[in-house]
Amino acid sequence: MPARTEEYRELSTFAVEVVRTAGKLLLDHFGRVSGLSKGSCDLVTGADVAVEEFILKEIQRHCPEDQIIAEESTGTGTSAIQEFCWVIDPLDGTVNFAMEIPFFSVSLALLHEGIPVLGWVYDPVRQELFQARRGAGCQVNGKRLVEPSDNSSPLPVGASSGFLGRTAPAGPSSPLVLLMRRFGKVRILGSQALHLCYVAAGRLRGAISWESRLWDDAAGALIAQEAGACYTDFGGEDVFPLRAGGRVLAGEPIHSIAAPPAVHREMLALLASS
């Protein structure tokens, strides 16, 4: 762990207050905003912008030397990853939010040399705060999360719309069909950060995404890993550290799988065989 380890407790206290306040701001906007298109099947709302501005100002005030990658304001282009980098998703689940579907979250992570070391995901509707520190475990609302089960209980798999859109048309041997044949139900809940947290909490058997970005995954990936899940790309390679040479295209899709070890191995094999 870096020399800054002794500061992590204080940073966590700061970040918890930030994400909880950000969640309150989202609820203040909920049902009062409309979405604007920012790409195929993607939206941005005034709430995204307002909450991101709030988080940016708080981090810049508290950690003025640190780099920040934020979805709406700095989420494009190639960036040299600095020693400490905050990654912000002010509203993960914007389509849900704009359509008044009460399932969305705030996601915030701190990276050290391209690896998430602190992460927070807050669901303001359920008032659930997931958080983790690298090497020190994870918790939800103060309750420690233990390793997700590999057993055969009927847990669904969380998948992204991009994954389903890419695999569903391919017929009976498509990855989607094979996935459902092996693991049963598939759910698209609309927030990748919460998909990953639900893997950590044992609510989802796994989470698969074709089109998530750094800000969708950074905090949730750490939380899932600290609960004992594996988190890799579709080839089984580690996503973090971000990029050899310390550079990352922030808006580049991450093809990610998170699941308990045995389930993760099966999912990788299934994708490789399809």
Residue-number span of the structural domain to which 239 is assigned:
157-273
The answer on 94 and 35 residing in a single domain is yes
The answer on 193 and 119 residing in a single domain is no
Residue 10 falls inside a structural domain: yes
Residue 259, strand partner residues: 230
Per-block average pLDDT, block size 10, for the chain (274 residues)?
68 96 95 62 77 96 94 67 92 92 97 95 98 96 84 78 72 75 86 97 94 94 97 94 60 88 92 76
Boundary (domain end) residue, out of 122, 144, 166: 144
Cis peptide bond N-terminal to 241, omega within 30? yes
pTM above 0.85, yes or no: yes
Residue with tokens 């099966």: 266
pLDDT at 245 (0 to 100): 47
The answer on 137 and 31 residing in a single domain is yes
The CATH number given to whatever domain includes residue 183 is 3.40.190.80
Residue 150 falls inside a structural domain: no
Collapse the DSSP code of 163 into the 3-class scheme (helix H, G, I; strand E, B; otherwise coil) and give the result: helix
The rounded distance, in Å, linking the Cα atoms of 62 and 100 is 33
pLDDT at 250 (0 to 100): 59
